């Protein structure tokens, strides 16, 4: 499967998963509306607001893991059998909850280690001289490394769901597949990011024109709702595109291995 084919499949199959988009839309809308009063500059340093923000962030994160497990399970079903019933959403959410949580916690540990490493590297380079050249070099190294790490870490969650693997096995399998298909995966990632940005900019421009005559409070609510809709739709499109691409990569690899085994047998 090519990159453009994966993108096309992402948009095409998401139309058949609008119930999943709706679930994410409701979730993202609740987060957006809940966050509006907490984001008030006059209250942002209030200790009570800080505590509420922290607790709500953790709660929303835990709920998101459940929704992601349910969504990825249905995405897998839609790609494999062209049939994804919402009745399975809760079952998949429960089934993959602990494993996705474990994988995300592993990502947190990796991110912490990478940030520490980047800090040391940046500090070492800046010791040579704090100027535009060294700052540009640091920015280039950090950006390239971050994009590379993100590319390598895209597939483990798809391996976990598509192949029903444990955390460590899925982590290893996902990275192996990404390494073997690094440039293809990077192209798909960049294409999806560009498409997401274009959609967001266009919707944001239209929303800006519409909200000009509206009171500030209503404009903020409208913005939160529209952003929730865009984020929810794009999230499922990306899930479908990467799931379809990952499954095509492992199927292709499996086919190549079977041919090699047949040749060896002969």
First CA to last CA across the chain, in angstroms? 29
**Residue 1: per-residue pLDDT:** 81
Give residues with Cβ within 8 angstroms of 212, minimum separation 6.
none
CA distance 185 to 177: 9
The packing angle between helices 216-265 and 18-38, to 10°, is: 140
Q: Looking at residues 210-219, what average pLDDT do you find?
A: 79
pLDDT band at 44 (very low <50, low <70, confident <90, very high): low
pTM over 0.85: no
Closest by alpha carbon to 157, among 104, 110, 236? Answer: 104
Q: Is the pLDDT of residue 260 over 80?
A: no
Burial grade of 161 (CB within 10 A; 0-12, 13-18, 19 or more): buried
Q: What is the mean pLDDT of the chain?
A: 85
**148-182 per-position pLDDT tens digit:** 889 999 999 999 999 999 999 999 999 999 999 99
% of the chain exceeding 90 in pLDDT: 53
Nearest-5° angle of CA 10, CA 170, CA 3?
A: 25
Do 116 and 169 meet the contact criterion of CB atoms below 8 Å apart?
Answer: no
**Residue 205: per-residue pLDDT:** 86
**Residue 119: per-residue pLDDT:** 79
Do 253 and 162 meet the contact criterion of CB atoms below 8 Å apart?
Answer: no
**Residue 39: per-residue pLDDT:** 67
Using DSSP, how many helices (H) and how many strands (E) does the chain show? 9, 0
CA distance 92 to 101: 14
DSSP letter for 2, please: -
Q: Is the pLDDT of residue 261 over 60?
A: no
How many residues in the chain? 266
């Amino acid at each position: 499967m090519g990159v453009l084919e994966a993108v096309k499949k992402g948009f095409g199959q998401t139309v058949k998963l609008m119930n999943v988009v709706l679930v994410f839309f409701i979730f993202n809308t609740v987060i957006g509306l809940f966050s509006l009063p907490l984001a008030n500059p006059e209250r942002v340093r209030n200790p009570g607001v800080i505590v509420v923000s922290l607790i709500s962030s953790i709660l929303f994160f835990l709920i998101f893991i459940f929704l992601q497990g349910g969504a990825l399970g249905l995405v897998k079903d839609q790609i494999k059998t062209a049939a994804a019933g919402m009745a399975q959403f809760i079952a998949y959410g429960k089934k993959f909850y602990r494993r996705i949580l474990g994988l995300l916690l592993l990502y947190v540990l990796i991110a912490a280690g990478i940030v520490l490493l980047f800090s040391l590297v940046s500090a070492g380079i800046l010791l040579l001289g704090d100027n535009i050249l060294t700052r540009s070099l640091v920015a280039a190294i950090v950006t390239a490394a971050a994009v590379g790490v993100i590319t390598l870490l895209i597939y483990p969650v798809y391996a976990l769901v598509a192949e029903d693997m444990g955390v460590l096995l899925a982590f290893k399998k996902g990275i192996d597949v990404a390494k073997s298909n690094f440039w293809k995966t990077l192209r798909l990632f960049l294409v999806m990011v560009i498409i997401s940005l274009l959609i967001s900019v266009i919707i944001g421009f239209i929303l800006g024109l519409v909200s000009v005559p509206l009171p500030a409070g209503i404009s903020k609510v409208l913005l939160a709702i529209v952003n929730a809709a865009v984020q929810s739709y794009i999230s499922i499109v990306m899930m479908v595109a990467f799931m379809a691409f990952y499954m095509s990569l492992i199927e292709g690899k499996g086919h190549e291995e079977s041919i090699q085994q047949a040749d060896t047998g002969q």
